[in-house]
Amino acid sequence: MAEPLLLAPPLALVIEALAGYPQGLHKAVPHPVTWIGKAIEAMERRWNRPEATEVRRKELGIVTVAILIGAAILIGSLLEAAFDSGLLATLVVALLATLGLAQRSLHQHVMAVLDPLEAGDLPAARAAVSLIVGRDVDDLDLHGVTAAALESLAESFNDGVVAPASWLTLFGLPGLFAYKAVNTADSQIGHMEPRWRAFGWAAARTDDVMNWVPARLAGLLICLGAGWQGWAVMRRDARKHASPNAGWPEAAMAGALGVKLGGPARYDGETTDRPSFGDGRAPDLTDLRRGLRIYRRACALLWLLVTLLCLGGWRLTQ
């Protein structure tokens, strides 16, 4: 890869934070992640048949992930080859890279929860938080809505910002697109329910591997964004989570704010026991505002880190 393209990752982070994926563009051209989702749905319908054995479904799930990764790397490589030098090429690659980042949309989704809460409109806040969490929200009070929003903010900071930025920085567009393909597959089929347990096994395990380092980096950035608050809680509580990765940013956010996150939640009408992170009180509006400030600082720290890595020539593939 030509050297000027090394600056594409930090430029992509700045552009995406400022513009995101404009709503007008979304209406004209659906976000490319939806294209990945449709491909996954097609393969799942064709290959995840209930009459097949679990071994066979697991094998076909592995094939599905391999196809997704291979296609993502191929497309990313072809695009980089088409724009391989010059400042214009850097801008084009950066614009393409914004498709895999979600700093702005995550901030907007959490603000959509905060605004009605500040106006005293709890039903509207519940409706807004239902768009970013999978749990039942009808019975959540102000503290429950706030906790759900903070947990989603922390976990999605990794999935939507730190992890894709990391794969982009180290491996360019092929790495970024491969990560987004796997992460999308995990969200769609990487579940433990009988229908997906075998077929989605490969998606879930690959996503765990690809997020292992970024999740811990995300937790560290949250602690740094809070003035080095939350480090002790993150180290103590992160491994309580069923996921090998999600607990790191969530525990960091709980410790940074001095609140308790996690705990039992209802999914499809049934209560699920979840571990708690932190020792403090239930979060409130002030904590949600503080959480967003920490998130913005953590994003700024990520920009700085990515810029330094790019200038230092840390790209692992050329």
pTM of the model: 0.94
The verdict on residue 44 lying in a domain is yes
Please check whether residue 108 lies inside any domain of the structure. yes
Q: What is the pLDDT of residue 180?
A: 97
- CB burial string 164-185: b at 16+ within 10 A, e below: bbbbbbbbbbbbbbbbbbbbbb
In a domain, residue 318? The reply is no
Q: Is residue 26 part of a domain?
A: yes
316 within domain boundaries: no
Tell me whether residue 74 is in a domain: yes
**In whole angstroms, how large is the CA radius of gyration of the chain?**
20
Q: What is the spatial distance between Cα 228 and Cα 279, in angstroms, rounded to a whole number?
A: 17
Q: Provide the domain count of the chain.
A: 1
pLDDT at 3 over 60: no
Predicted local confidence at residue 31, as pLDDT: 80
What are 192-238's pLDDT values in tens digits?
888 999 999 999 999 999 999 999 999 999 999 999 999 999 999 99
- Given a cut of 90, is residue 87 above it in pLDDT? no
Locate all alpha helices (DSSP H) within 98-198, ordered by sequence.
103-118, 122-129, 142-157, 163-189
Q: Which two structure tokens, joined as six digits, stand for 31? A: 């976000």
Residue in the block written with tokens 């191929």: 74
Determine the longest span between alpha carbons in the chain, in angstroms: 56
| Residues shown for the chain | 318
Cβ atoms of 183 and 278 closer than 8 Å: no
Q: Is the pLDDT of residue 1 over 60?
A: no
The answer to the question of residue 202 being in a domain is: yes
Domain that holds residue 97: 3-311
pLDDT tens across 129-143, in order? 999 998 899 999 999
Task: Specify if 246 maps to a domain.
Answer: yes
| Interval 270-276 mean pLDDT | 91
State residue 92's pLDDT score: 93
